[in-house]
Structure 1
C-alpha cells in the first residue's frame, strides 16, 4: 500500500467511525472529492539522492549547478579550490555536499606531514546522520591522465578493501601536501580539483601535532562555501 492509499484508508476509516456514531454513511461525493484532491506524487530519479541513482542524480545536478570554485575556512586560514569539469560526478558531488553544509560538521581528521591532509568526517552526530540519510553511496572513478597527485591536488578518499572498482567515498577527501606530489596514488584515487590559493594554510595545518593515528591533538574544523 503506497502513501496515498494509506492516507485515504485512514481518512475513510476515520469517517466511517464518525458516521457509525452518528448512524450516517459516507457520502460518495466526499470520497470522490478526496480522490481528486490527493494526487499521486511522482518523483524523478534525480530528485532524491540514494545509493541506487548516483550517476543519474549527479549528472542532472551538475547541469543545474555549474560552480567550480570553493573555499575551505579553518582557524589556520583559508584554502581555495578549483574543481575540474572533466570529473563531473565528483565536482557535482562536492558542490552538493557544500550546499547542504555537510562539510561544516566535519574536520580534518588525518594529518600526515609531507604527504596529505584528509577531511570530510567526524564523530559529530549530524555528520553520521547525513551520511546515513543518503545511504553512504559511492562515486564511480573518473581517472584522467592529466589529473595527477601533484602538490595541492584535491582527491577523493576510498576504501581499499572489497572495492575492486576503486569507487570513491563521496564524503571524504584529501589534499596532497608533499611538494613532490604523491604520484604513487595516480589511478588509485580520483583527482577532481586543486588548490589555487592558500598553500601556506595547507602547510600550516600539516605542521600540527598528531596522535599515533595521525588524528590532530586539536580538531581542525572547517567551513566550506561556494565562490563561483
Structure 2
C-alpha cells in the first residue's frame, strides 16, 4: 500500500531526483512513496548516527554549500580505494570509480563509508534505460541525509567519459539549478546497449560496473508502477569500499 504523506522526507531530505528520462531528459522523475523497508529501518532516531559520529570524529562535519568542496578536496588526497561493492536484495555488483573525477569519486566513497547507502532503494527504474538508487521513503534515510548535510557537487563532464552501458553517473538537482549541479546522495546506472549518449554533457559519469552487470539488468527488468517505482522494493543492503 502506498504511503500518501511523504512530507517528512521532503522536509528532511534534499529532495533531489534524476532528470534523465529517455523521452525528455529535462523532466525530473516522479517519485511516489511506498511501503518502506523492514521494521528496523523505520525506527525513530535511535542514536545510530550519533554513535557513528563518535566512533569517527573526523567525519562529524555537517556538509553544506560552503564547506563541501573544500572538504572533498582534502578527502580525495591520497584516496587509493576506487571500487565499491553494492549488495542488493537481488544480488551484488561492483563499481569502479574514475580517479580523474575526484569530487564525485570522493563523495561516493565517503557516503559508502558513512553507511549512507545501506537500506536505501533503487527507487526509479526505467526499462532499457537506467536504474537509479540512493533514496528511500523512510525516516532513517532522511535522518542520515540531515546528519551528513545539504550540498551539491559541480558537474565534471569534460573528462572524456560517455554514458556507455554500465556507466555510473550522478543525477542533477531539480532545485533552481541552471548549472546542472549534481545530487550527491543518488546515482544512476545506464543499461541501454550500447549506451544513452544523449546524457553526455548534462550528467557526470564517474565510474562503471565491472562485475555483476547481470544483477543491474535484473533490477532493470522488475515490474514498476506509473511513477517508475518498483512494485516490490529493491534494497541496497550494504555498500562496501574495497580497500
**Secondary structure of 2:81's match?**
coil
Match of 1:124 among 135, 138, 141: 138
Match of 1:54 among 68, 72, 78: 68
Q: Which runs of 5+ in 1 are unaligned?
A: 1-45
Q: How far does residue 48 in structure 1 lie from its aligned partner after superposition?
A: 1.8
Match of 2:153 among 116, 136, 139: 139
Q: How far does residue 47 in structure 1 lie from its aligned partner after superposition?
A: 6.7
After superposition, the Cα gap between the structure-2 partners of 1:208 and 1:109, relative to the gap in structure 1 and judged at 3 Å, is same
Look up the match of 1:213: 227
Q: Tell me the alpha carbon deviations over residues 84-111 of structure 1, each in whole angstroms, 9 at most, x when there is no partner.
A: 0110000000000000100003100001
Determine which structure has greater relative contact order: mean sequence separation of CA pairs < 8 Å that are 6+ residues apart, divided by chain length: 2
Would you say 1:173 and 2:182 are equivalent positions? no
Would you say 1:152 and 2:166 are equivalent positions? yes
Q: Which runs of 5+ in 2 are unaligned?
A: 1-58
Look up the match of 2:88: 74
* In structure 2, distance between residues paired with 1:199 and 1:175: 10
2:125–2:228 CA contact under 8 A, matched in 1 = yes
Q: What is the CA RMSD across the aligned residues, in angstroms?
A: 1.7
After superposition, the Cα gap between the structure-2 partners of 1:49 and 1:56, relative to the gap in structure 1 and judged at 3 Å, is farther
* In structure 2, distance between residues paired with 1:167 and 1:174: 15
Look up the match of 1:103: 117
Look up the match of 2:212: 198
Q: Tell me the alpha carbon deviations over residues 110-132 of structure 1, each in whole angstroms, 9 at most, x when there is no partner.
A: 01111000000001212111212
* In structure 2, distance between residues paired with 1:125 and 1:49: 18
**Secondary structure of 1:201's match?**
helix
After superposition, the Cα gap between the structure-2 partners of 1:47 and 1:224, relative to the gap in structure 1 and judged at 3 Å, is closer
Look up the match of 2:97: 83
2:62–2:147 CA contact under 8 A, matched in 1 = no
1:49–1:57 CA contact under 8 A, matched in 2 = no
Q: How far does residue 161 in structure 1 lie from its aligned partner after superposition?
A: 5.2
User: Under a length normalisation based on structure 2, what TM-score does the superposition of the two structures give?
Assistant: 0.72
Matched pairs, number:
184
Look up the match of 1:227: 242
